[in-house]
């Protein structure tokens, strides 16, 4: 800095007390100041929620200090940055996670204590940030935590939906959706950046113009919307690095249309302009099927365009041409949702930066990577050409151009194999012409990642077979992981303390591989005793919650058996329910004297169904109908209980997971791309009852088949079984339980008919009947194991000890090295 600049900086620094202090007294002072000045309550009279607000603002101040330093540092060092583009981030609550990552959890708890508050109670006041649907969105959140912790220079980009994922309300056992207006009570975790905003264009026409004697395309838009940045600091653990998650909100554009002002219809003009905000109003709640909705496409382009303007502006601040762009920029597409970014970069480089097609194309091909999260064909996005052409006319031209060059090249490589050419084309011909976003991504990205080894094999051999044969080198996989900071340290503090005590270090919080150190104590009687205690207390807390929520009293001595995830036919919650019905039926038909041999179970199911997914909604209703019957049957008593957890979300998961004994991951083999819930449960010492699908295959390698309950058709058997169709023999017990549902044993006979039809008469696409027998055997094995407490506890310890590989830190390290080519950039303390 110049002499004058330095003098000013020193004077400013002198006015500051240095960085904010983290001792309990300083924190208390800050909390009280925020009560008075930010929350505007009297510091002598405020409640738990206001304490939450004031504490959050005190934490936010500390986050901002680090976040500023990190951004400054990145700016100075100008490393290659990762830009993580995702339409969904499922962050959950921020307070506990932030104070733990900042290393000030205990000081905050002390500070609150002395003010007469309890940290846990205050933290409970926070609502969830639910800007995502399920696995994909929570994975993004875990990955942000790892990127920050590992000091990677990364920025997340997404949309700031005003309404997150709907709230699930159950009335009479039926799911109803209610809007989640999560910003109602303010959001201390974001920083509005009114000056960071960009105009995003839509509609209009493409004109040809001559510029400096050269013909070029100019997009004349028909509508402009302003994107305003909201920054969400993401602190790393054990580092000063605090990275940014930048979410865009839509606002009416500042550029005025003079003509409409002249018409004098002021009120209507204002109302029309206000409509711009609808773009970022609501998250689409369907996680697999895309219906070619204009608003969804608008959302995608809106966030892509704003993010790229931001990225290019940042790049240009430090560079005066695009030569170094690929050395400085890695763009990660989280599924195909942001894949319009490809066409947008081409448009900016060709039409605005005037680099020429070939040069722009070379750049595009080196900066983009793509991860897909599904194996289901309906999960692959398609955009009707008409829709794209009207909303983004220039992008459609660019995509056509990319496709035409690709098709020409392909013909040279494979000849005139028209079937294959048409399968690989980015443009799908037919009654409705579509753009296949996955094909666009495959053509343009240097890497396509699967989310588990099996998933990657399926991509190579089925979903993207043609592309794999063409470009085998593009295909990689990074098995998913989850962050142990949130899923052990935040949500299971007593287990966290126990692990650190036995390992003699907290280093596993940054290096999950160290968890293997627990293996040698797995049979140690003292550790087992302490392990059981921790688990028991978590179960008691869960039992209290269940009673408060549903009125059902459950015993913490029973086995807590959970299945928590989105409701999908392929995830087979129905198989679980049929198993429960079978268990109930057995208890009912048993001699009374034999009942004492039954291992008591509390079955917990939680998850949301997409609003338009009828069958999934019927599964939820069936769960309630069965629960109603079982829970009120005095014959059964404590031997079997069934509870549905309404409005399953990240916070509910944080409560349920630490208290679970057994968890179910029972998708039909070949359908779950990875699965991440299993990893959270595994870390917490919960045993798995599972099929060999997705990442479970790799979990088996870590913990061994003996330490879990495996069942069901294997991947290679599934298609043969399907081909056999109705001839497949199903066990008698299966026919019996389905009949009970069909004949109205649980009521709602007509309503459940179509559900039963999915299983019988040649249906049963997901092979519930085929797998039922082995499912029951696995369940019986779990019962048997549970009775041997010592053995069970040992298995539980081994689960945690073997979970290190499933940390998102490992996943992110792999991405950084093999896909993005980025390196840590650690901000000095």
Residues with active-site annotation: 373, 565-566, 571, 676, 680
Question: With respect to ligand AZC, which residue has the nearer C-beta, 134 or 804?
Answer: 134
Could you say which of 128, 180, 672, 764 contacts ligand AZC (CB under 6 A)?
672
* Nearest Cα residue to 804 out of 451, 477, 503: 503
Question: Nearer Cβ to ligand AZC, position 136 or 490?
Answer: 136
- Contact between 158 and ligand AZC by CB under 6 A: the answer reads no
In sequence order, the β-bridge partners of residue 226 are 199, 251
Q: How far is the CB of 139 from ligand AZC (least distance, A)?
A: 4
678 binds ligand AZC (CB under 6 A): no
- Beta-bridged to residue 389, according to DSSP, are none
The nearer residue to ligand AZC, 136 or 448, going by C-beta atoms, is: 136
Q: What angle do CA 500, 505, 508 make, to 5 degrees?
A: 75
Long-range contacts of 317-326 (CB under 8 A, 24+ apart): 318/75, 318/78, 322/349, 322/353, 322/355, 322/359, 322/363, 325/363, 325/367, 326/363, 326/366, 326/367
Q: What residues contact 235, with CB distance under 8 A and at least 6 apart?
A: 63, 66, 67, 98, 101, 102, 148, 241, 242
* CB atoms inside a 10 Å sphere around CB 404: 13
* Piece of 106-114, 133-141, 351-359, 742-750 that binds ligand AZC (CB under 6 A): 133-141
Rule CB under 6 A: which of 790-819 touch ligand AZC?
A: none
Minimum CB separation from ligand AZC for residue 411, in Å?
32
Torsion of the alpha carbons at 467, 473, 475 and 480, rounded to the nearest 10: -170
DSSP result, 475-503: EEE----B-HIIIIIIT-HHHHHHHHHHH
Instruction: Identify the three-state secondary structure at position 328.
Output: helix
For CA atoms 389, 391, 397, 402, the dihedral sign is negative
Q: Residue 434 or residue 808: which is nearer to ligand AZC going by CB? A: 808
Instruction: Say whether residue 233 binds ligand AZC (CB under 6 A).
Output: no
Structure-token pair, residue 389: 């052409």
The contact pattern for ligand AZC, residues 619-658, with x = CB under 6 A and - = no contact, is ----------------------------------------
Query: Does residue 287 belong to the site contacting ligand AZC (CB under 6 A)?
Result: yes
384-423 positions binding ligand AZC, by CB under 6 A? none
Check binding of 675 to ligand AZC (CB under 6 A). Answer: yes
Strands 167-171 and 174-178: antiparallel
- Residues in Cβ contact with 392 at an 8 Å cutoff, skipping those fewer than 6 apart: 202, 297, 301, 340, 343
Q: Which of residues 683-722 bind ligand AZC (CB under 6 A)?
A: 694
Q: Which residues contact 660 (CB under 8 A, 6 or more apart)?
A: 542, 560, 561, 562, 604, 681, 684, 686
- The correct pick among 168, 175, 374, 819 for binding ligand AZC (CB under 6 A) is 374
In the bound state with ligand AZC, the residue whose beta carbon lies nearer, of 330 and 451, is 451
Q: Does 288 bind ligand AZC (CB under 6 A)?
A: yes
- With respect to ligand AZC, which residue has the nearer C-beta, 59 or 451? 451
For the chain, the maximum distance between any two Cα atoms, rounded to a whole number of angstroms, is 96
Please report how close the Cβ of residue 548 comes to ligand AZC at its closest, in angstroms. Answer: 30
Encoded one letter per residue, x for contact with ligand AZC by CB under 6 A and - for no contact, window 86-125 reads: ----------------------------------------
Q: Which of 449, 491, 664, 674 binds ligand AZC (CB under 6 A)?
A: 674
d(CA 675, CA 571): 10
Q: Give whole-number Cα distances, 669 to 117, 186, 235, 693, 755, in Å.
A: 49, 43, 37, 5, 21
Q: Does 81 bind ligand AZC (CB under 6 A)?
A: no
In the bound complex, what is the minimum distance in angstroms from residue 449's beta carbon to ligand AZC? 10
Q: How far apart are CA 573 and CA 785, in angstroms?
A: 23
- Cα–Cα separations (whole angstroms), residue 223 to 161, 301, 386, 483, 499: 21, 13, 18, 41, 57
Binder among 236, 379, 481, 712 for ligand AZC (CB under 6 A): 379
The SS3 of residue 165 is coil
* Token reading at 433: 């012409």
- Of 222 and 377, the one with the shorter C-beta distance to ligand AZC is 377
The position carrying tokens 């993401």 is 234
Question: Nearer Cβ to ligand AZC, position 673 or 825?
Answer: 673
Contact of 132 with 90, CB cutoff 8 Å: yes
Choice from 51, 283, 451, 518 touching ligand AZC (CB under 6 A): 451
Q: Does 334 contact ligand AZC by CB under 6 A? A: no
**CB closer to ligand AZC out of 34 and 665:** 665
What does the alpha-carbon distance between residue 490 and residue 538 come to, in Å, rounded to a whole number? 13
Region from 1-9, 130-138, 245-253, 409-417 binding ligand AZC, contact rule CB under 6 A: 130-138
Using the rule CB under 6 A, give the single segment among 278-286, 371-379, 726-734, 797-805 that binds ligand AZC.
Answer: 371-379
Tell me which of 27, 102, 115, 139 binds ligand AZC, using CB under 6 A.
139
Which span sits near ligand AZC by CB under 6 A: 50-58, 129-137, 340-348, 464-472?
Answer: 129-137
Q: Which residue has the tokens 């209507």?
A: 268
Minimum CB–partner distance for residue 681 and ligand AZC (Å): 13
User: Where does residue 452 rank: exposed (0-12), middle (13-18), buried (19+ CB within 10 A)?
Assistant: buried
Near ligand AZC by CB under 6 A: residue from 135, 389, 450, 685: 135
Residue 136 or 559 having the CB closest to ligand AZC: 136
Of positions 30, 335, 661, 809, contacts ligand AZC by CB under 6 A: 335
Candidate list 136, 304, 650, 657; residue touching ligand AZC; CB under 6 A:
136
Angle, nearest 10°, between helix axes 340-347 and 294-318? 50
Segment holding 131, helix H or strand E: strand 129-131
Question: In angstroms, what is the minimal distance from the CB of 287 to ligand AZC?
Answer: 5
**Both tokens assigned to 350:** 């060709």
**Nearest residue by C-beta to ligand AZC?**
135
Show the tokens assigned to 805.
């590989």
Site size for ligand AZC (CB under 6 A): 18
Contacts of 565 (CB under 8 A, 6+ apart): 134, 135, 571, 607, 677
Question: Which one of residues 676, 794, 802, 811 is an interface residue with ligand AZC (CB under 6 A)?
Answer: 676
Check residue 134 for interaction with ligand AZC (CB under 6 A). yes
Q: How far is the CB of 248 from ligand AZC (least distance, A)?
A: 20
**Token duo for residue 35:** 């009560």
User: What distance in Å separates the CA atoms of residue 56 and residue 125, rounded to the nearest whole number?
Assistant: 11
CA distance 648 to 653: 7
Closest alpha carbon to 611 in 158, 171, 174, 136:
174
Site for ligand AZC in 16-55 (CB under 6 A): none
Binders of ligand AZC among 469-488, rule CB under 6 A? 480
Site stretch for ligand AZC (CB under 6 A), options 52-60, 501-509, 674-682, 814-822: 674-682
Name the site residues for ligand AZC (rule: CB under 6 A): 134-136, 139, 287-288, 335, 373-374, 379, 451, 480, 672-676, 694
């Amino acid at each position: 800095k110049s002499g004058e600049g330095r003098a000013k900086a020193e004077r400013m620094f002198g006015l500051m007390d240095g960085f904010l202090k983290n001792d309990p007294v300083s924190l208390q002072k800050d909390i009280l100041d925020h009560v008075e000045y930010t929350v505007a309550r009297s510091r002598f009279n405020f409640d738990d929620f206001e304490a939450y607000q004031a504490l959050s603002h005190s934490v936010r101040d500390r986050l901002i200090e680090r976040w500023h330093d990190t951004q400054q540092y990145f700016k100075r060092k100008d490393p290659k940055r990762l830009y993580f583009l995702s339409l969904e981030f499922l962050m959950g609550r921020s307070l506990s996670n932030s104070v733990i990552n900042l290393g000030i959890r205990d000081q905050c708890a002390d500070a609150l204590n002395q003010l007469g508050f309890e940290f846990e109670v205050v933290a409970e006041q926070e609502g969830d940030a639910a800007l995502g649907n399920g696995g994909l969105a929570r994975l993004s959140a875990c990955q942000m935590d790892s990127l920050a912790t590992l000091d990677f220079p990364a920025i997340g980009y997404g949309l700031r939906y005003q309404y997150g994922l709907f709230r699930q309300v159950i009335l009479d056992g039926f799911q109803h959706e209610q809007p989640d207006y999560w910003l109602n009570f303010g959001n201390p975790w974001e920083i509005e950046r009114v000056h960071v905003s960009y105009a995003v264009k839509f509609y209009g026409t493409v004109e040809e113009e001559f510029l400096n004697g050269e013909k070029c395309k100019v997009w004349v838009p028909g509508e402009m919307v302003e994107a305003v940045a909201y920054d969400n600091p993401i602190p790393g653990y054990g580092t000063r690095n605090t990275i940014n998650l930048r979410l865009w909100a839509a606002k009416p554009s500042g550029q005025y249309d003079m003509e409409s002002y002249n018409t004098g219809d002021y009120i209507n003009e204002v109302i029309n302009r206000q409509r711009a905000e609808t773009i970022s109003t609501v998250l689409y709640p369907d996680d697999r099927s895309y219906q070619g909705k204009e608003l969804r496409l608008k959302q995608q382009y809106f966030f892509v365009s704003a993010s790229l303007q931001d990225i290019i502006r940042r790049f240009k601040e430090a560079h005066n041409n695009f030569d170094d762009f690929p050395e400085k920029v890695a763009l990660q597409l989280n599924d195909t949702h942001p894949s319009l970014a490809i066409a947008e970069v081409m448009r900016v480089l060709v039409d605005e930066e005037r680099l020429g097609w070939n040069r722009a194309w070379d750049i595009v091909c080196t900066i983009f990577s793509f991860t897909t999260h599904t194996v289901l064909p309906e999960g692959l996005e398609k955009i009707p050409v008409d829709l794209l052409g009207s909303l983004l006319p220039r992008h459609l031209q660019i995509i056509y151009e990319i496709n035409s060059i690709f098709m020409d090249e392909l013909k040279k490589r494979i000849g005139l194999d028209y079937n294959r050419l048409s399968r690989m084309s980015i443009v799908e011909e037919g009654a409705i012409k579509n753009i296949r976003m996955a094909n666009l991504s495959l053509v343009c990205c240097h890497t396509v990642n699967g989310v588990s080894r099996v998933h990657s094999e399926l991509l190579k051999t089925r979903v993207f077979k043609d592309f794999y044969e063409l470009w085998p080198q593009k295909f990689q996989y990074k098995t998913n992981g989850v962050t142990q900071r949130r899923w052990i340290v935040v949500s299971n503090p007593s287990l966290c303390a126990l692990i650190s005590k036995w390992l003699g270090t907290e280093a596993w919080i940054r290096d999950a591989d160290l968890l293997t150190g627990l293996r040698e104590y797995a049979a140690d009687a003292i550790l087992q005793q302490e392990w059981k205690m921790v688990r028991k207390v978590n179960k008691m807390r869960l039992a209290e919650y269940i009673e408060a929520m549903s009125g059902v009293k459950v015993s913490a001595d029973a086995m807590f058996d959970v299945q928590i995830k989105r409701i999908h036919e392929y995830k087979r919650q129905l198989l679980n329910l049929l198993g429960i019905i079978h268990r109930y039926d057995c208890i009912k038909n048993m001699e009374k004297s034999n009942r004492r041999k039954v291992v008591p179970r509390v079955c917990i199911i939680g998850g949301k169904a997409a609003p338009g997914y009828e069958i999934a909604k019927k599964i939820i209703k069936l769960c309630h109908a069965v629960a109603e019957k079982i829970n009120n049957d005095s014959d059964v008593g404590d031997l079997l209980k069934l509870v549905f957890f309404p409005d399953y979300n990240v916070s509910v998961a944080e409560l349920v997971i630490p208290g679970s004994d057994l968890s179910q991951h029972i998708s039909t083999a070949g359908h779950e791309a990875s699965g991440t819930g299993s990893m959270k449960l595994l870390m917490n010492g919960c045993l798995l009852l599972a099929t060999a699908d997705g990442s479970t295959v790799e979990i088996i390698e870590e913990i061994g088949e003996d330490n879990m309950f495996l069942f069901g058709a294997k991947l290679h058997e599934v298609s043969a079984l399907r081909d056999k169709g109705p001839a497949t023999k199903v066990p008698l017990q299966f026919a019996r339980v389905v009949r009970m549902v069909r004949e109205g044993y649980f009521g709602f006979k007509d309503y459940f008919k179509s559900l039963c039809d999915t299983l019988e008469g040649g249906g049963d696409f997901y092979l519930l009947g085929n797998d039922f027998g082995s499912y029951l055997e696995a369940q019986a094995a779990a019962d048997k194991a549970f009775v041997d407490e010592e053995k069970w506890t040992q298995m539980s310890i081994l689960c945690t000890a073997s979970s290190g590989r499933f940390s998102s830190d490992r996943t992110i390290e792999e991405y950084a090295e093999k896909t993005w080519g980025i390196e840590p950039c650690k901000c000095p303390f």
